[in-house]
A and B are shown apart, each in its own frame.
Chain A
Amino acid sequence: MEHVLDQIINGLQLGLMYALIALGYTMVYGVVKLINFAHGDVFMVGAFIGYFGFQHWGLPLPVAIVNAVVVCAILGVTIERIAYRPLRYAPKIAALISALGVSLFLEYFGSLKFVFGPNFRVVQRPFEEVRWEVFGVTITNIQVMIAVVVVLMLLALQFIVYRTKIGMAMRTVSVDHNAARLMGVNVDNTISITFAIGSAFAAVGGVLYAIAYPQIHPFMGIMPGLKAFTAAVLGGIGIIPGAVLGAIIMGQVETLTSAFLSSQLRDAIAFFILILVLLIRPSGILGKNEPDKV
């Protein structure tokens, strides 16, 4: 029985990792109705900047994380300005293709020798790993750290969206760009800030991921990115708690599939769920037909 609990905790760790990435997908979609496929690669850049920080530049871990957050926030805003803003009133497909282009650019530019390099890097953990046995269930300090960070970030995001002026601006823009502009909201700035916050989350996710699964490479963002995107759709894209719920479900499905069915079915079942959700309930688990989504 404790092995079932062990597996559920494994799934929770994976799910919470996905949640950090899914939050960025869902926020950007909420505000600009754009699926930012480059998000998984921003996550990769965050992992690399964090890794360079604590492993090569000798920064303490919190400073390394802040460093990664700043770099990724700037990267997110830059991507929006260069690749999405000029296409904002073009057909949706143009922005989607541009997003795929940015994604591939980041991957292959990152694999250049003078950028990150194409090889896999082993990440030395910046702190010792501790394992606790609680009633026969194994928990590590990394799992605790991930859980705490995700909960804090979720709370912070809810606070920003529902209790601050910029949050109000985001919610307004998500309803109607033009109406928001008429009401005096600076739409461009609001969208930039949304990208900055989403990318900052991806950066934190990237650093945590590199610590939890200690190996990084320029293509590491693809799979977690796709899974997190699936999670965001599953929970209801554009809905913040939905992203977390979807991510936790994805983590559990993957882990329990590997544990009790076969690890070979893991990805197949994960993506089969995406198809099912889109067929049966396209708005996602928490999705309603309310327009006010961020």
Chain B
Amino acid sequence: MCVKNRKVYLLLVALLAVALVVTGCGGAASNKSAGEGGEKVVKIGLITPLTGDVKTFGESTQNAFKLALEQAGMKAGDYKIEYVIADDRNDATEAVNVATKLISQDKVNCIIGPLTSKTTIPVSELCNSQKIPMLTNTATNPKVTVDNGKRKEYAFRACFIDPFQGAVAAKFALENLKKKTAAVLYDQGNDYTIGLANVFKESFEKGGGQVVEFLAYSKDDTDFSAVLTKIAAKNPDILYLPDYYQKVSLIGKQAREKGIKAIFLGGDGWDSPKDLDFATMAGGYFTNHYSADDPRPEVKKFVEEYKAKYGSVPDALATLGYDATNLMLNAIKTANSNDPEKIKEALQNTKDFPAVSGKITIDKDGNPIKAAVILQVQPDKTYKYVATVTP
């Protein structure tokens, strides 16, 4: 064999070896990772953005995840819990990469996260094909669990879905605020904001309101003057901004500069006690998963414990991270197994689980049935609880 051929041969072997490691010899087949000393171990992966444009979301989620595990004494049923945390930077490609690593290298039995819809949709595909149950805390797009009418059996979530948020916002604008006209501005490349925008428009018009402008922008835009000048000319009562806190802050500021006096209305992406521009967004309303001011005992207990550990009031992301982790622990305990198949069954059969964000029953599509709250942004950097809207 000549030298050149041998090099090619060695390269092929190396590639094959890499391919074997990457594809991981099948996710589900090799999950019997027993811990030291024969102890039964269940391994949980958490995927969440700890850097990037929504990192405060990721940090809250991580805090809540750790809190829930500690409270459970790092045990679920007979199983000792081990965990791996992976940062996806809120990037869809990176999310799939870390999910692949969690499944094939770390051999996790189940996954919590990712956080936003754009990262969760591709990860849910992967988990479904690898037969690893995943439970996202906050990805609200319907496609996470059902795509083209096909249920992804291994995908679940702890939050309500976008159509519900858009519909609640429209209902609130029409019935509570008694407003008749609205403009919608959304990100054309983000499933989350497209979902909210479409359903808001549909529900608002069905309820007798009028959507005067329905405009898109792209992710990297910083100059919104053209679209906002257009909206200002129509003088709507409501400006619906279903995007994350950083974009909303930027649009809000420019909207006021263009003389738009409309009430700002949005979704759970606004919830960031640190990085939302409160001075600009004060007076605006958004739909959310829970309010820390809710008088229920589960909420009070959680808020106190979170505050004691991390020194701040938990935001909705923390709450849902906590609920998602507990839902998963509950499923592992019920199944009393680290078999992904059995954990999946237990998750699907969850009924009346007393979560902080409300009693959760998982429906046939893997979505929880529960209520939404409306919060108002206050200039003193807090959110005021306004109303609870049931489906």
Seen from chain A, the residues whose Cβ lies within 8 Å of a Cβ on chain B are 3, 6-7, 10-11, 13-14, 111, 118-120, 122, 129, 131, 138, 140, 209, 213-215, 217, 220, 222-224, 254-259, 262-264, 266-267
Q: Which residues of A contact B53 (CB under 8 A)?
A: 119-120, 217
* B223 within 8 A of partner (CB): yes
Query: Contact: B226 with A7, CB < 8 Å?
Result: yes
Query: Contact: A215 with B250, CB < 8 Å?
Result: yes
Nearest CB to that of B217 among chain A residues? A263
Query: Contact: A264 with B275, CB < 8 Å?
Result: no
Query: Contact: B218 with A119, CB < 8 Å?
Result: no
Partner of B51, one of A14, A111, A223, A259: A111
Seen from chain B, the residues whose Cβ lies within 8 Å of a Cβ on chain A are 51-53, 55-56, 89, 188, 215-218, 220-223, 225-227, 229-230, 233, 246, 249-250, 253-254, 257-259, 275, 277
Query: Contact: B188 with A264, CB < 8 Å?
Result: yes
Query: Contact: A213 with B218, CB < 8 Å?
Result: no
Partner of A118, one of B55, B220, B233, B258: B55
Nearest CB to that of B226 among chain A residues? A258
Q: How far is the CB of B192 from chain A (nearest CB, A)?
A: 17
Query: Contact: A222 with B220, CB < 8 Å?
Result: yes
Query: Contact: B257 with A14, CB < 8 Å?
Result: no
13 CB contacts below 8 A, A to B, read A7-B225, A119-B53, A119-B56, A122-B246, A140-B257, A209-B222, A213-B254, A222-B220, A223-B222, A255-B225, A256-B226, A263-B218, A264-B216
Query: Contact: A138 with B258, CB < 8 Å?
Result: yes
Partner of B218, one of A222, A256, A257, A266: A266
Main secondary structure of the interface of B (DSSP, over half): mixed
Main secondary structure of the interface of A (DSSP, over half): helix
Partner of B233, one of A3, A13, A209, A217: A3
Nearest CB to that of B277 among chain A residues? A122
Query: Contact: A215 with B249, CB < 8 Å?
Result: yes
Query: Contact: B230 with A119, CB < 8 Å?
Result: no
Q: Considering the chains assembled together, what is the distance between the CA atoms of A223 and B246 in angstroms? A: 17
Q: Considering the chains assembled together, what is the distance between the CA atoms of A255 and B64 in angstroms? A: 43
Query: Contact: B253 with A214, CB < 8 Å?
Result: yes
Q: Considering the chains assembled together, what is the distance between the CA atoms of A16 and B217 in angstroms? A: 21
Query: Contact: B218 with A264, CB < 8 Å?
Result: yes
Partner of A259, one of B55, B229, B250: B229
Q: How far is the CB of B145 from chain A (nearest CB, A)?
A: 28
Q: Considering the chains assembled together, what is the distance between the CA atoms of A264 and B227 in angstroms? A: 11
Q: How far is the CB of A47 from chain B (nearest CB, A)?
A: 11
Q: How far is the CB of A115 from chain B (nearest CB, A)?
A: 13
Closest 6 CB pairs of A and B: A258-B226, A10-B225, A120-B246, A213-B222, A118-B51, A259-B226
Q: Considering the chains assembled together, what is the distance between the CA atoms of A254 and B51 in angstroms? A: 31
Q: Considering the chains assembled together, what is the distance between the CA atoms of A174 and B32 in angstroms? A: 69
Partner of B227, one of A3, A213, A220, A258: A258
Nearest CB to that of B233 among chain A residues? A3
Query: Contact: A120 with B226, CB < 8 Å?
Result: no
Q: Considering the chains assembled together, what is the distance between the CA atoms of A6 and B259 in angstroms? A: 12
Query: Contact: A119 with B55, CB < 8 Å?
Result: yes
Partner of A215, one of B55, B215, B216, B246: B246
Query: Contact: B226 with A10, CB < 8 Å?
Result: yes
Q: Which residues of A contact B218 (CB under 8 A)?
A: 263-264, 266-267
